[in-house]
Amino acid sequence: MMSLYCCGCETDVVARLTDGAEIYPHRQDLASLPFWICDACGNYVGCHHRTTNRTRPLGCIPTQELRDARKQAHAVIDHLWHSGAMTRTAAYAAISRALGTKYHTAETRTIAEVREAVQAAVSLRKELNKAALEQKP
pLDDT at 102: 95
**68 and 41 fall within a common domain:** no
Q: Are 98 and 124 in contact (CB under 8 A)?
A: yes
**69 and 39 fall within a common domain:** no
pLDDT at 134: 77
Residue 78: C-alpha distances to residues 22, 24, 86, 107, 126 (Å): 30, 26, 10, 16, 15
Domain total in the chain: 2
pLDDT at 133: 76
**70 and 125 fall within a common domain:** yes
Mean pLDDT for the chain? Answer: 95
**For residue range 89-124, what is the model confidence (pLDDT) as tens digits?**
999 999 999 999 999 999 999 999 999 999 999 999
pLDDT at 135: 76
**35 and 92 fall within a common domain:** no
**88 and 129 fall within a common domain:** yes
**17 and 75 fall within a common domain:** no
Instruction: Locate all alpha helices (DSSP H) within the chain, ordered by sequence.
Output: 20-23, 64-82, 88-99, 111-135
- Find the domain containing 21 and state its range: 2-46
**For residue range 68-84, what is the model confidence (pLDDT) as tens digits?**
999 999 999 999 999 88
**129 and 87 fall within a common domain:** yes
pLDDT at 11 over 90: yes
**25 and 71 fall within a common domain:** no
